[in-house]
Amino acid sequence: MINPEAARRSPALDQAARELQAAQHDARVAFDCIALGELDRAHTHALTARVAVDAAVTALMAVLADADADAGSQGQGAR
């Protein structure tokens, strides 16, 4: 489990949040473009949203890996 205080200060979590906000924006633009019949532009924004989500997942995986490593090192020191 991630320490909430440490998580708030994590640059990787900040980056993940920014990427998810960008993905949300691009998904909304893609949705609007579909409604307007601008399918090429919708496709571009849908792909951009997907890339932003992938970047957020990568950042979250890094945070989780660090948390697991920290938990492992704390567990070894307690022996």
In whole angstroms, what is the distance from residue 53 CA to residue 63 CA? 15
pLDDT of res. 68: 84
* Phi, psi angles (nearest 5°) of residue 19: -65, -40
Q: Which domain holds residue 54?
A: 4-72
Q: How confident is the model at residue 2 (pLDDT cuts 50, 70, 90)?
A: low
Own/partner pairs, 25-28, CB within 8 angstroms, 24+ separation: 26/52
pLDDT of res. 79: 47
Q: Write the pLDDT tens digit of every residue in 16-43.
A: 999 999 999 999 999 999 999 999 999 9
**Is the residue at 51 inside a domain?**
yes
Does residue 4 register a pLDDT over 70?
A: no
**Is the residue at 79 inside a domain?**
no
Does residue 70 register a pLDDT over 90?
A: no
pTM: 0.75
**Is the residue at 55 inside a domain?**
yes
Q: Which residue has the tokens 């473009």?
A: 33
